[in-house]
């Protein structure tokens, strides 16, 4: 494991496996824990980020029918984590090492999954269908056929009340996370790469192949703002500074004053970037493009 600052980067801990290959890795949002997933029946292990040799707990796959862990994600509050394995199973583990959810093998491939910020509900996408579970009740999922094609991307609002899904039909659909009912359909003229709710849950930004980023009022379903700053497709975006600024990503990094739809700054890239990582004070930002 490595850590450092912009001036120094060094090894702070080194971890050796116990005979299994590492197939998934996740760091908690507070930076205190590292969850490690293994191949075969190695299961999941939680270690301290400050001392990776300090194992807090280890749930072995042989005891839980967990085989070849492929994904681990922490909830927003770091209390629980979602785990996906090669047998198309989903698990929710608490950070104290308890298993609080297991859905068993599914009939279709899990094309996407997430744990809600509170850690009390999970989402799984199976091609064009999504399912929502309360972690305390595996038997009663809300099941919705959302699109006529595979769900390519989704986002969950911070208040956990809304879900946005998109496919290849140039539309984003908004859903009630309690009932599974659709309450809006946002039609586009071009295909959409990603979507993201604002922190205050009032807006949804959609990043389009034509290079534009559109911002929608989620309650009225109306287009509120539009940003055109990329020569190629817009791949992702982030809401910053209490939802007053939007960072859009594609062939460049572009910062926008949302209310005025005004471009603040643009930083060109050598290729197309889809992700960015920044510090809380916004003084440092890291990204990688396809070049």
Q: What percent of the chain has pLDDT over 70?
A: 93
Neighbouring C-beta atoms of residue 142, cutoff 10 Å: 18
Per-residue model confidence as pLDDT tens digits over 198-236:
999 999 999 999 999 999 999 999 999 999 989 999 999
8 Å CB contact between 197 and 158: yes
The per-residue pLDDT for 13 is 60
β-bridge mates for residue 176, sequence order:
162
Largest CA-CA distance found in the chain, in angstroms, rounded: 57
The per-residue pLDDT for 271 is 85
Residue 63: strand, helix, or coil: helix
Which residue in 27, 2, 24, 26 sits closest to 14, CA to CA? 2
Task: Return the structure tokens found at 109.
Answer: 């491939």
The per-residue pLDDT for 290 is 79
Which residues of the chain, if any, have pLDDT below 50? 1-6
Distance between first and last Cα of the chain: 26
CA of 124: how far to CAs of 53, 137, 146, 192, 201, in Å? 33, 15, 12, 20, 21
The per-residue pLDDT for 278 is 77
Task: Return the structure tokens found at 160.
Answer: 């956990």
Residue 159: strand, helix, or coil: coil
Beta-carbon contacts of residue 180 (< 8 Å; ≥ 6 apart): 132, 142, 143, 144
β-bridge mates for residue 102, sequence order:
91
Distant-in-sequence contacts of 262-267, Cβ < 8 A, 24+ apart: 263/227, 263/229, 266/229
Exposure string (b/e) for 210-235, b if CB count within 10 Å is 16 or more?
ebbbbbbebeeeeebbebbbbeebbb
* Helices assigned H by DSSP within the chain: 61-64
8 Å CB contact between 213 and 227: yes
8 Å CB contact between 46 and 27: no
Strand order, beta sheet including 121-126: 112-115, 121-126, 129-134, 137-145
The per-residue pLDDT for 12 is 56
Rounded CA gap, 181 and 208, in Å?
Answer: 25
């Amino acid at each position: 494991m490595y850590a450092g600052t912009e001036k120094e980067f060094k090894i702070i801990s080194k971890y050796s496996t116990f005979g299994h290959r590492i197939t998934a890795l996740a760091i908690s949002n507070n930076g205190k824990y590292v969850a490690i997933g293994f191949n075969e029946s190695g299961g999941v292990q939680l270690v301290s980020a400050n001392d990776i040799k300090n194992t807090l707990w280890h749930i072995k796959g042989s005891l839980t029918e967990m085989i070849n862990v492929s994904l681990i994600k922490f909830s927003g509050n770091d209390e629980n984590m979602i785990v996906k394995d090669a047998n198309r199973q989903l698990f929710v583990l608490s950070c104290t090492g308890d298993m609080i959810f297991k859905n068993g093998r599914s009939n279709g491939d899990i094309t996407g999954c997430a744990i809600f910020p509170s850690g009390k509900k999970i989402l799984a996408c199976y091609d064009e269908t999504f399912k929502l579970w309360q972690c305390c009740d595996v038997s009663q999922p809300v099941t919705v056929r959302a699109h006529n094609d595979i769900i390519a991307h989704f986002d969950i609002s911070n208040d956990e009340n809304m879900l946005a899904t998109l496919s290849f039909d140039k539309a984003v659909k908004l859903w009630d996370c309690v009932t599974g009912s659709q309450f809006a359909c946002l039609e586009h003229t071009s295909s959409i790469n990603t979507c993201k709710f604002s922190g205050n849950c009032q807006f949804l930004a959609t990043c389009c192949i034509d290079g534009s980023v559109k911002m929608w009022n989620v309650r009225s379903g109306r287009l509120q703002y539009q940003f055109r700053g990329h020569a190629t497709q817009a791949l992702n975006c982030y809401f910053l500074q209490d939802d007053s600024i939007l960072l859009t990503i594609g062939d460049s990094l572009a910062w926008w004053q949302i209310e005025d739809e005004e471009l603040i700054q643009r930083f060109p890239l050598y290729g197309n970037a889809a992700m960015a990582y920044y510090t809380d004070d916004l003084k440092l930002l890291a990204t990688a493009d396809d070049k």
